Chains A and B, each alone.
Chain A
Amino acid sequence: MPEIQFREALNQAMCEEMDRDPDVFLIGEEVAEYDGAYKVSQGMLARFGPMRVVDSPISEAGFAGLGVGAAMVGMRPIVEFMTFSFSLVAFDQVVNNAPKMRYMSGGQFKVPIVFRGISGAGQQLAATHSWTVDALYTHVPGLKVVVPTTPYEAKGLLKTAIRDDDPVVFLENEAMYGNRGEVPAEEYLLPFGKADIKREGFHCTIVAWGHGCLTALAAAEQLHKDHGIEVEIIDPRSLRPLDIDTIAESVKKTGCCVTVEEGYPTCGMGAEITAQVQEKCFDDLDHHIIRVGSLDVPMPYSKVLLNHVVPGAQRVAEAVKQAIYFQR
């Protein structure tokens, strides 16, 4: 199987879907002539031309809304936000126009649009530029929210997102674009709402996705080496729909659960997963569920402070030890 970068996997997904369906187009800031701020759309302008790979001015509400309008007549726009921190100035388009059109029109209009781009704390960009928007968008009925962890998932899930008849928020992470992984040469799609067991274990369940999942995997490796603790890592892949059944099955086996996210704990994804897990596994839990997330403060600039706020492998490992009453 060929090994490619995360960004190449996304590029392949978009190119394949654009070859397949003339209604698919990409619009965003610097996606065309600049070849993408993070080179995800590299070469696409040359291949598809300026009507299908469209440079937009810095105008998020404008081009996000353009995408929604075009989707209402059956086009399949891929709207790239340079970062989802900038999606906040297009919030009305993402949380009102895209996800509520089908409902408010009594099913007459569908909005098959993908909003994609990076989300997360990134490289010392301080508070306004460092949003992790997982929970923010997962809150909204009518949206689907997808977070790939590997290049394989990035490609398979993005292809599914582009073909989906509902609006999809597709969250990537800058720090992961260069990550390499095996991706099949032949075509494949990955479904939403189907979690992946990233690591099998029996002491404790960790629910983690995207960049947080890589942190959890590092923590799991450390716990295994240092203490022989075997954690099971469930990666939901999509936060809405959420595969709570696979998560619950694992928690019933391990008896404890830690959630890991890079967003904030208050009303965060961990809080939601915790609520759903206790509904299904109340009698199986040997310890309360522990949420690991960014500390509840605006994202600071200084590296020392930033690394303290965003959860690292050490914090995840400590949470697992607490959850299993580990005595050294």
Chain B
Amino acid sequence: MITLVEQSQKVEPSPAQMMDWYRQMALIRQFELRCAQSYQQQKIGGFCHLYVGQEAVAVGSIAAVRPTDYIITAYRDHGHAIARGMDCQSLLAELYGKASGCSHGKGGSMHFFDREKNFFGGHAIVAGHVPLAVGLGWAIKYRKEDRVVLCYFGDGAMNQGAFHEALNLAGLFKLPVIFMVENNGYGMGTHVQRASAVAELKLRTGDAYGIPGKHVDGMDCLAMYEMTLAAAQYCRAGHGSLFIEVKTYRYRGHSMSDPQKYRTREEVAKYQEHDPIGRLEKLLRAKNLLDDAKVQAINNEIHAHVEEAHHQADMAPFPQTQDVWKDVYANPYGPYKS
């Protein structure tokens, strides 16, 4: 039996760290609310999946890994990108289809990328990216590097073949990958109990693939940090992969066009009582790190920051139409190139 947190050295996060997480979570929330507004104003096209409610997952876990570690996620990727330190302006520019977007207007909401920050996307086919995480882990092992991979996906991904093939390979080759399922209860509109024969997801990888399963409260940023820190230590020590079931909840619909007939307002309200930002705020108030004035000041500052990023992104130029031919290949060629 593997016990993680007990084995690891418990590190009490510093006041500065916790304040930083609070800011990051507040930033993600305001960013997402801006997105909702911009979507309604038709500045954002395509699908747009908001992270509201799940902020503690990305913030707490990414805080626990190093900038050199690899991060890869699914299509609900705004929160992870911000927690990884990607610039809001380049993200909004991407959402608005601008040339200055983080993927030069070629990816959109579901395909944020940042090579410099070891952020490997943003992937839209459910579970299609999980084998890629295994490849990143393979490269780390092959090159004998001191890195881990943090791979996020939703509960819906766990019923896809690609997920199971990936987990089997990771378990077989003992690769340094943390598989983190953000179980927000629903794969689009289908409750996890209507989709998974074994609804307790943490049980699904241990006996099957030799990858121990843990679970953590995803509405608690500190718990996320502690669990991920321990998991990263486990992977760095060469023990292989780890699976973490994160219990979380999204307040908004699956995407912007979701009437949410599959759940009640009461259910959403119940989860909002455990709001990850409110929870950390309460803790920080108890430690005298926050008060009403500071909360107001932080929120004003973040609001101004997001609005400025929005304004800049909105003003930024669209790509040139001849840019469609860029980055198809290393060198353009062919009868139908421009």
Set of chain B residues within 8 Å of A69, measured between Cβ atoms = 72, 120, 131-139
The size class of the interface chain B forms with chain A is 35 or more
Interface residue count for A (Cβ, 8 Å)?
A: 49
Q: Which residues of B lie under 8 Å from residue A166 when comparing CB positions?
A: 329-330
18 additional contacts (CB under 8 A) given A25-B142, A106-B106: A57-B172, A62-B131, A66-B166, A66-B169, A68-B132, A69-B136, A92-B162, A97-B123, A103-B327, A103-B328, A104-B122, A105-B103, A105-B106, A106-B105, A106-B327, A141-B328, A142-B328, A144-B329
Q: Are B125 and A72 in contact (CB under 8 A)?
A: no
Would you call A110 and B330 a contact (CB within 8 A)? yes
From known contacts A66-B138, A73-B136, A193-B333, infer whether A96 and B128 are also in contact, taking CB-CB under 8 Å. yes
Assess whether A57 is in contact with B169, with CB atoms less than 8 Å apart.
yes
Q: In whole angstroms, how far apart are the Cα atoms of A57 and B172 in the complex? A: 9
C-alpha spacing A144/B329, complex, angstroms: 9
Point out the residues of chain B lying under 8 angstroms from A110, CB to CB: 330
Chain A residue numbers with a CB within 8 Å of B128 are: 65, 92-93, 96-97
- Contact assessment for B135 and A61 in the assembled complex, using a CB-CB cutoff below 8 Å: no
Of the listed stretches B111-119, B194-202, B252-260, name the one at the interface; the rest are far from the partner chain: B111-119
What 1/0 mask marks residues of chain A from 301 to 312 whose CB sits below 8 Å from any chain B CB?
000000000000
| Segment 239-273 of A: residues with Cβ below 8 Å from B | 240-242, 244
Q: Which residue of B lies closest to A280 (CB)?
A: B335
Tell me whether A160 is interfacial, beta carbon within 8 Å. Answer: no
Question: With the chains together, A132 CA to B133 CA distance in Å?
Answer: 30
**CA A206 to CA B305, docked complex, whole Å:** 64
Q: Which residues of chain A have a CB within 8 Å of any CB of chain B?
A: 25, 51, 56-57, 59-75, 77, 89, 92-93, 96-97, 101-110, 141-142, 144, 164-166, 193, 240-242, 244, 276
Interface pair B113/A63, CB less than 8 Å apart: no
Residues of B within 8 A of A (CB): 70, 72, 101-107, 111, 113-115, 120-123, 125, 128-139, 142, 161-162, 165-166, 168-169, 172, 326-330, 333-335
| Bound: A110/B330 CA distance, A | 8
Residues on B with C-beta less than 8 A from A240 are 334
Contacts of B122 in A (CB 8 A): 104
In angstroms, Cα B330 to Cα A165, docked, is: 6
Q: How far is the CA of A11 from the CA of B257 in the complex (A)?
A: 53
- Residues in chain A near residue B129, CB distance under 8 A: 97
